Amino acid sequence: MNAKTIIPLLFSMMSLNTYSADLNLWYNRPAAIWQEALPVGNGRMGAMIYGGVNHERIQLNENTVWGGSPYNNYRAINPDTLTKIRNLIFTGDTRSAEQMINMYFMTGQHGMPYETVGSLLIDAPFIDKPTSYRRELDLSRAVATTKFDIDGVTYKREVISSFTDNVVIIHISASKPHSISFNASFDSPLPHTVGLEEGRLVLKGKCLSHEGVEGKIRMQTVLDVKNEGGKTELTSSRLIVSNATDVVLYLSSATNFVNYHDISGNETEKSVALLENAMKKNFSTAIVNHVDYYKKQFGRVSLDLPCTADINKPTDRRLADFNKDNDPSFVSLVFQYGRYLLISSSQPGGQAANLQGLWNDNLNAPWDGKYTININTEMNYWPAQTTNLSETEFPLIQLVKDISVTGRKTAAEMYGAKGYVAHHNTDIWRSTGMVDGATWGMWPNGAGWLSTHLWQRYLFNGDKGYLENVYPQLKGAADFYLTAMVKHPKYGWMVTCPSISPEHGPHGASSVVAGCTMDNQIAFDVLSNALQASEILKEPQEYIDSLKDRLTLLAPMQVGRYGQLQEWLEDEDDPHDNHRHVSHAYGLFPSSQISATRTPQLFEAVKNTLLQRGDEATGWSIGWKINLWARLLDGNHAYKLIRCLLDILPSDNVAREYPHGRMYPNLFDAHPPFQIDGNFGFTAGIAEMLLQSHDGAVHVLPALPDEWHSGNVKGLKARGGFEVAMQWKDNKVKKIEVKSTIGGNLRLRSYVPLTGKDLKVAKGVNPNHLYDIVSGKKPIVSSEAKLKQPQLMKTYEYDIMTKAGKEYKVYAK
């Protein structure tokens, strides 16, 4: 054995049981395309950093830069028309029903697009090529850095989207005095002008009209500079810096948007005020403030998994090699990247993360970059509670509050119903009508699903004041199902009609149906949430009874002839269908209606459904399936899905050459094209593999794959207000530390016996009402179905009666 063989072998042996704390995405060349650039964001302003040498592009977003203006796209439906459509569906003429829906429900307005501000361009007069180069995104600090050497001088650009100053700041430094020269200019695809105002470079733009809705958003972006040791000039279209030693650029952007029905703001005053306030601080103070704010959220959770490969490779290379290296530490990096993206795209006071989070480089984003609320927006927020980022949910809560207003007329005028409704899309104007045609859009459950996030937040925080605050939204969502559902003439169950199982029909037939399984599951959750909230808040008994009555009339889940969970009321599933949506698996995740212990037949049925549908899918679908297999307590299969998602797609232009590519070089999820929900689904899935709390207990390491034989995690959150840290070795938990934030009974579930102070063997039902146990009707199982009994590992359950603020340590026996 020669030396060249020994060194890699020694590296492999040393790395086998070590961890990587690396939290950097880094690259050894500038980005050539947007999907290689690195994102920064403060929940309002976003930027994509290309890291060029002679030519740097910093593409900009501001989260209220949307096309159109206040509007709503619901259409009043004659009750007789709705009755005719329902009768056509009930009699099986779904094609005619679909045609009528397209004729009477559509307005021609499919939602307004999220648009880009444009870009800041920085051009430098370098003649020689750099002798070294590195660009990186430090997830631990939310700082993007580009560094290179030319002619013996080290140049560095640091970019932050400041959480504390609410602007983008670019710091340019050099190792040799008076070495920095460049010119900066704006570019934008919006109708725009560039000029000078009060010694600053100003980009003014106007968002576009769309589908007959006039574009009324005005945007202003302002650039100013602090120059040490050099000269600054301004022309009508550019800022020129010569022979400087240190430079700080400040970028501020704002619009006239106030809220979904008010665009009376002054974009000029807002952008200038933000800029002037930010420039009062020097960069060293600004970056410290920014990092401190960010770390208070990001630093709550750490995850260490085994490092089994060389991590000293550029991130795109690590991604390309992942399925060869099978390095768990890379999973840790992508997990934390998802948390970084959620913090960066969703902060209190801002807009909710949309289909692309915060980042979009054009005026025609895929699917308009809207809020797709038949899973994608919900998936964006799956990691918010479990990975200890509850602040990021505030924009989502506001979105639900807004559509509980705009969706009230839609419910009344379209369905003759009380409460509020939204279909499968909304936008910054909180439109709630149907879009895209019956095949995709005839789905009146978007508001209902979104409302379940409000209830889940209560299960994590136990705050009755918060519950009172969001009760109108919980009740309004339930009121829609109380008044819009109709009795199925064949089965006698109360069903939604018309609707679809997103975005899928049986055997290629029309997707328009009555009472599909996902609708029934969402209706069950919405009504159950309102029932529990009403009981806690002591609402009128008459209303409580109405919720209970409706729950008894919902359709049960059914197991079909192939042993599958039926997607529709009829046993129409095709076991060879590989459709990306597995909508009826909602009952397993994110809901908790299906459980290994409480509903074993449904547990096996949904597993059969997932096996029949297969693993390969679009990026967001794979992200969902990671969570589903975690809920099925199969860590190895969940890890198989992780490997599916961590497969490089160098660019959309070569998608045919990379048919399994699901992640771009900058680790953005590829549908393809880019959708950020896959990143958030991935992060939520990792958390779900490590900790679950939906089934009456805090289950530690419920779905640990073999490859994660040892590791530790800190800061994950469980329902009941518990913050959990764990260490494990040889695939078994060794130590558990739990901080109780609100007190109450802690029930721990483990695959190994535990010991610890105040630990008692659990008996009976958990007295803590914050564990998410829901029970529906007994399932209907086809006589042809072949179902196995779930093969589960033995578990041990213990109780600790906790006090708020106290910490508890438990160990494996």
**Token pair listed for 807:** 């910490």
Closest Cα to residue 719, out of 780, 773, 665, 783?
773
> Candidates 3.30.9.10, 2.70.98.50, 3.40.50.1260, 3.40.50.300; correct CATH number of 34-67+119-295?
2.70.98.50
In the chain, the amino acid numbered 284 is S
Reported as type and span, the H/E element at residue 601 is helix 600-613
pLDDT, tens digit (0-9, with 9 covering 90-100), for 19-53: 656 899 999 999 999 999 999 999 999 999 999 99
Over range 92-96, report the average pLDDT: 95
What is residue 772's predicted lDDT score, i.e. its pLDDT? 73
Planar angle of CA 765, 768, 774, nearest 5 degrees: 65
**Helices first, then strands: H and E counts in the chain:** 19, 37
- The strand pair at 371-372 and 494-495 is best described as unpaired
Burial (CB count <10 Å: 0-12, 13-18, 19+), residue 663: buried
* pLDDT of 576 higher than 70: yes
Over range 647-674, report the average pLDDT: 96
CATH 3.40.630.30 corresponds to the domain 316-812: no
Contact 424, 374 (CB under 8 A): yes
Over range 613-628, report the average pLDDT: 94
What is residue 581's predicted lDDT score, i.e. its pLDDT? 87
**Token pair listed for 465:** 């004041």
Planar angle of CA 752, 756, 760, nearest 5 degrees: 80
Percent share of the chain, pLDDT over 70: 97
Over range 709-728, report the average pLDDT: 98
* pLDDT of 13 higher than 60: no
Conformation bin of residue 633: beta by default, left when phi > 0, alpha when psi is -120 to 50:
left
* pLDDT of 7 higher than 60: no
- The pLDDT-based confidence of 462 (bands split at 50, 70, 90) is very high
What is residue 18's predicted lDDT score, i.e. its pLDDT? 57
- The dihedral through the CA atoms of 83, 89, 93, 94 has a sign that is positive
Over range 94-110, report the average pLDDT: 96
Burial track 90-124 (b if 16+ CB lie within 10 A, e otherwise): beeebebbbbbbbebbbbebbbbbbbbbbbbbbbb
Closest Cα to residue 461, out of 741, 234, 126, 797?
741
In the chain, the amino acid numbered 330 is F
Give 64's contacts (C-beta < 8 A, 6+ positions apart).
217, 255, 257, 351, 428
What is residue 592's predicted lDDT score, i.e. its pLDDT? 96
pLDDT, tens digit (0-9, with 9 covering 90-100), for 152-173: 999 999 999 999 999 999 999 9
What is residue 15's predicted lDDT score, i.e. its pLDDT? 36
- The pLDDT-based confidence of 295 (bands split at 50, 70, 90) is very high
Reported as type and span, the H/E element at residue 173 is strand 168-174
Distance CA(319)–CA(339), nearest Å, equals 18
Domain boundaries, the chain: 34-67+119-295, 316-812
- The strand pair at 558-559 and 780-781 is best described as parallel
**Other C-beta atoms lying within 10 Å of the C-beta of residue 492:** 10
What is residue 362's predicted lDDT score, i.e. its pLDDT? 93
Distance CA(1)–CA(443), nearest Å, equals 65
Contact 180, 241 (CB under 8 A): yes
Closest Cα to residue 354, out of 368, 335, 340, 374?
368
Residue 359 has, within 13 A of its CA and on its CB side, a CA count of: 27
In the chain, the amino acid numbered 161 is S
* pLDDT of 580 higher than 90: no
pLDDT, tens digit (0-9, with 9 covering 90-100), for 376-418: 999 999 999 999 999 999 999 999 999 999 999 999 999 999 9
What is residue 17's predicted lDDT score, i.e. its pLDDT? 42
Distance CA(473)–CA(420), nearest Å, equals 9
Percent share of the chain, pLDDT over 90: 93
Distance of CA 220 to the CA centre of its chain: 29
* pLDDT of 760 higher than 70: yes
- The pLDDT-based confidence of 508 (bands split at 50, 70, 90) is confident
Over range 580-602, report the average pLDDT: 95
What is residue 791's predicted lDDT score, i.e. its pLDDT? 86
Conformation bin of residue 436: beta by default, left when phi > 0, alpha when psi is -120 to 50:
left
Distance CA(305)–CA(307), nearest Å, equals 6
Contact 713, 701 (CB under 8 A): no
pLDDT, tens digit (0-9, with 9 covering 90-100), for 120-161: 999 999 999 999 999 999 999 999 999 999 999 999 999 999
* pLDDT of 2 higher than 70: no
Over range 252-273, report the average pLDDT: 98
Give me the chain's average pLDDT, please. 95
In the chain, the amino acid numbered 469 is N
Distance CA(130)–CA(133), nearest Å, equals 7
* pLDDT of 249 higher than 50: yes
61, 62, 68, 71 alpha-carbon torsion, rounded to 10°: 140
Conformation bin of residue 730: beta by default, left when phi > 0, alpha when psi is -120 to 50:
left
Over range 269-296, report the average pLDDT: 98
pLDDT, tens digit (0-9, with 9 covering 90-100), for 768-793: 999 877 788 899 999 999 898 888 89
Over range 422-437, report the average pLDDT: 97
Over range 166-185, report the average pLDDT: 98
